[in-house]
Amino acid sequence: MSDDHDHHDGNADHELRVSKIQDGTVIDHVRGGQALNVLAILGIDGSKGEEVSVGMNVPSDRLARKDIVKVEGRELSQDEVDVLSLIAPDASINIVRDYDVVEKHRVERPAVVEGVLSCPNADCITTDGEPVTSRFEVLDDAVRCSYCETITREGIAELIDTN
């Protein structure tokens, strides 16, 4: 057995498996079960041929279980990170270049998100065809439409405007 990889203890091997992409973004510490919503936010459905790895419900030090999303060849924009923070407030974003993590930052929930969510209220000015950009205030565990005051706690991911 001359291959070094066979001699790692289980934990190091686990870390290696999680972090090995050449260039791109690793979104770590996503709450368990939210990885697919993260992909939806990023508009990743496989159609553009992105290379994506998803780990779901893997053991975590910080959360009981976590999801991990790795996107090869893509660095997230601040807008994308802001929206991610709504469904994955504990996430950390690792920017990888040439197999090295060159930037690591925790997501920060913005006070307001504009143009990224659709109001679920059919009577809201933002949903009746008017050219009004949606605007939501970010609360601790919910978002509130700045126009009609509708508060959404569950299913925030479903409101994400992917157009």
Q: Which residues are annotated as part of the binding site for Zn(2+)?
A: 119, 124, 145, 148
As for how many domains the chain has, the answer is 2
Token pair, residue 72, equals: 């090869």
**What mean pLDDT value characterizes the chain?**
83
> Does position 12 have pLDDT exceeding 80, yes or no?
no
121 plus 54 within the same structural domain: no
147-160 burial, b at 16+ Cβ within 10 Å, e below that, comes to: beeeebeeebbebb
As a whole number of angstroms, the distance between CA 102 and CA 95 comes to 6
> Does position 18 have pLDDT exceeding 70, yes or no?
no
User: What is the residue whose two structure tokens read 């999680």?
Assistant: 18
pLDDT of residue 115: 87
CA 152-87-67 angle, 5° bins:
150
- Which tops the pLDDT comparison, 5 or 29? 29
Residue at a domain's end among 87, 106, 125: 106
Q: Which residues are annotated as part of the binding site?
A: 119, 124, 145, 148
3-state secondary structure of 102: strand
What percent of the chain has a predicted confidence (pLDDT) above 90? 42
28 plus 10 within the same structural domain: yes
- Within 10 A of 143 (CB to CB), how many other CB atoms are there? 22
> Does position 150 have pLDDT exceeding 90, yes or no?
yes
pLDDT of residue 2: 45
- CATH number for position 89: 3.30.70.140
Residue at a domain's end among 106, 128, 145: 106
pLDDT in tens, 41-59: 888 887 888 889 999 999 8
* pLDDT category of residue 154 using cuts at 50, 70 and 90: confident
49 plus 91 within the same structural domain: yes
- CATH number for position 124: 2.30.30.20
As a whole number of angstroms, the distance between CA 129 and CA 127 comes to 6
pLDDT of residue 99: 92
- Within 10 A of 146 (CB to CB), how many other CB atoms are there? 14
pLDDT of residue 7: 41
Structural domain of 123: 111-163
- Which tops the pLDDT comparison, 148 or 18? 148
pLDDT in tens, 107-145: 888 999 998 889 999 999 998 877 899 999 999 889 999
